[in-house]
Amino acid sequence: MPRWILVDDTDPGITYTGPWTADHGSQDNLGNFGVPLLSTLHGVTSDASFSYSFKGTRALITGTMQYTSSSGPVTNPSWECFVDGVSFQVHNYSIAENRLIFCEKDDLADGVTHNITLIAHVSNQRTFWFDYIQYVPSSSVPLDQALLSVDVPDPQMQFGPGWSQIAPGYTTSTKGSTFKFSFIGVSLTWLGYYNNQLPFAATTASYSIDGGNRTEISLNGVSSTPTGVQYNQIFFQTPKLLAGLHTLEVIYNGDSQTTPLSLSVVFIQNGTCSTASCTTPSASSSATLSATLSATLSATSSTPSFTEARHHSKHSSKMKHSLKIGPIVGGIIGSLIFTIACAFLYTIYRRRRWLLRSKYEGSPQPDLMEPFSETATPPSMLSHSMGGGMSSKKSREMAQLERHGHSASVATASSHTASRFSDATVTPTTNATSSGPRVARDEDSGVRLAHSNECDVETLPPEYSCD
């Protein structure tokens, strides 16, 4: 449920045009909708107007009709309402009553400054009475010094066993039934109702603030017998408190044969508070209010705070309001992201180590030829040798390097050497199996020509006979 800001007729932010007069208490006993807000009204006996600027999504104007439409041959006042210069529908009444909604406007642009204006048309000296403006503020609107109206139920309200919903609020007839409510402000006013369909024998309840001394309150439903229901009855108002966080606890002392304890709305007078004065008074309230109350105001429309005339046609909707848990959700998401990042980096680290070990510890590489074996390759097998064959000594050195883990430079060199022979035409020779040197004996002592195409030929001197 949204929380409304109440702007009493005495608020200096209201601009009056015309011969308005302030009134205190003259209409308190009118009807059964309760006394005017703070028992104050502004009245005028000729055409006049007033206006007020605000930021919010819904607004309404409430006033008093002093006379019924059948109380004489004269005409009651009439009125027109405007928001930002555009007129909208008003509500007309034939009854004499306080707290009547003269007009209301929904679906206003959020975060935009609006101006609401009422023009009163008065004849025959019948006073037009204005009581208060009520609006659902935008989230950016400060609540310092604001008077808040909190409808039931509210997320911070804790109804104990025995409570049930009976229009226009909640009621209990269970002895010892409790109610708790945490709030920020300097005072709280409890408004309930009496219903002549329920027991009306006198009884009591009591309340305490922040676990302090209990204060007893009287409950007596006798006043409802002639009217049926008495709405907006002030059951109690706390004394002025230090600005900050407080917890209200109420206990019902009656039973099923006595006047029930009821609740329709609470008023909270907010106030500025320093860090020290806003210290949580109890552990239970700190667990529930660290991120609320100042941020529960952006919502869709709902039933207005005060009970209206039963003949009044109005629009209403309800909204469930939950605590903002952005800080908690943000912390959880941040932790998950951090954990996933660490796991990802660790996986990359492990994979790089595996690749390096595979590379430098002799793991087989794809498409890599063994360049040489310890057995020298016969010259006749390499038809494109790029300058001749490789000696057996070099072949053995390369084989030893590969067995003992050669360095990166050797690996590169051997790979390059292997690639040089990758295109060679291999012609197997069945009789080329010996790896020892060839032996050739000269037959005379003439000139010796080099054996360009032979490898490791050992030349012996010629033999001479006695002949």
| C-beta separation of 312 from 93 below 8 A | yes
Instruction: For residue range 390-443, list pLDDT tens digits in order.
Output: 444 444 444 444 444 443 333 333 344 333 333 433 344 444 444 455 555 555
Same domain for 136 and 9: yes
Same domain for 235 and 176: yes
Query: Is the pLDDT assigned to residue 97 strictly greater than 90?
Result: yes
Domain boundary among 140, 169, 204: 140
Same domain for 99 and 28: yes
Instruction: List, as one string, the DSSP characters of 274-336.
Output: -TTTT--SSHHHHHHHTT-STT---------SSPPPTT--------------HHHHHHHHHHH
**Total length of the chain:** 467
Number of domains in the chain: 2
Instruction: For residue range 46-55, list pLDDT tens digits in order.
Output: 999 999 999 9
Same domain for 168 and 118: no
Instruction: For residue range 108-126, list pLDDT tens digits in order.
Output: 999 999 999 999 999 887 9
The radius of gyration of the chain from alpha carbons, rounded to an integer in Å, stands at 49
Same domain for 177 and 97: no
Which CATH number characterizes residue 43's domain? 2.60.120.260
Domain boundary among 269, 286, 301: 269
Same domain for 130 and 169: no
Instruction: Pick the range with the lowest mean pLDDT from 142-151, 263-272, 329-338, 376-385.
Output: 376-385
Q: Nearest CA to 104 among 91, 95, 114? A: 91
420 lies in some domain: no
Q: What are phi and psi of 287, to 5 degrees?
A: -75, -15
Query: Is the pLDDT assigned to residue 42 strictly greater than 90?
Result: yes
Q: Looking up tokens 């009807």, which residue turns up?
A: 31
419 lies in some domain: no
Same domain for 65 and 17: yes
Residue type, 235: F
More confident residue, 366 or 164: 164
Burial group, residue 42, by CB count within 10 angstroms (0-12, 13-18, 19+): buried
Same domain for 116 and 48: yes
The pTM score is: 0.61
Residue type, 313: S
Query: Is the pLDDT assigned to residue 332 strictly greater than 80?
Result: yes
Q: What are phi and psi of 28, to 5 degrees?
A: -60, -30
Domain extent for 223: 149-269
Percent of the chain past pLDDT 90, that is, above it, reads 52
Segment 351-374 shows an average pLDDT of 57
